[in-house]
Amino acid sequence: MTSLRVEDVGNKWLPSKVSLEVAAGECVVISGPSGIGKSLLLRAIADLDEHQGKLSLGDTSYIDMPAIEWRKQVGLLTADSAWWADSVAEHMPKMPLEQLTALGFTKEVMKWSVDRLSTGEKQRLSILRVLANQPSILLLDEPTANLDAENVKKVETLLLNYCRHKPAGLIWVSHDAEQAQRIADRRYRFESQGLVEVAA
């Protein structure tokens, strides 16, 4: 069980330094005005942008871990997924059938070409793609933004199940207040002076 510690992480794109701790099995929701830098904060935590401050998983600082290993452990899911090869199968290993069906796919989906996927299908498949790494922490940038109500439900259930059973820590960026109510163990607003905890 590994928790994520974010201490005074900042860079030139973020409005302020950010500190945050997320335990395994916990779901933290971050909301805030658009353009404030929520996505950039997640990028910094995934060590994808240069930043100051400390990041650690359990007792291990990110510096002591190869960047590749860090990003397998701290999986980042962006709002719009990118696909670099022709078929779905080239982007992820064989997925367990229960995960595929949990998001409404059959095992045939692996043979599909990426071109014929809808935005929503891409979104759901990119969730399975990042779960394949079995990350200890998931950074989710509006994972349900492009989905209909039924699929929002499926994705929430799948991700929260993963969170509780792995157990893994989730940092979930969401604009939807009702969703935040449903899923959050703790809630923050990201504002220009930093993260502000929202009373439950």
Q: Are 77 and 140 in contact (CB under 8 A)?
A: yes
Per-residue mark of binding to other proteins, 2-41 (x: CB under 8 A)? ----------------------------------------
Minimum distance from residue 77 beta carbon to other proteins (Å): 8
Is 75 near other proteins (CB under 8 A)?
A: yes
Applying CB under 8 A, what is the total number of residues that bind other proteins? 23
CA 108, CA 112: separation in Å to the nearest integer?
Answer: 7
Is 133 near other proteins (CB under 8 A)?
A: yes
Structure-token pair, residue 72? 């397998």
Cis upstream peptide for 167 (omega within 30°): yes
Q: Is 89 exposed, middle or buried (0-12, 13-18, 19+ CB in 10 A)?
A: middle
Contacts of 194 by beta carbon, 8 Å cutoff, 6+ apart = 15, 16, 17, 18
CA 157, CA 133: separation in Å to the nearest integer?
Answer: 19
Is 82 near other proteins (CB under 8 A)?
A: yes
In the 8-state DSSP scheme, what is residue 16? Answer: S
**Candidate list 24, 46, 155, 168; residue touching other proteins; CB under 8 A:** 46
Neighbours of 53 (CB within 10 A): 16
Is 136 near other proteins (CB under 8 A)?
A: no
Q: Which is nearer to other proteins, 10 or 75 (CB)?
A: 75
**Candidate list 34, 35, 50, 149; residue touching other proteins; CB under 8 A:** 50
Is 76 near other proteins (CB under 8 A)?
A: yes
List residues binding other proteins (CB under 8 A).
46-50, 66-69, 71-72, 75-78, 80-84, 129-130, 133
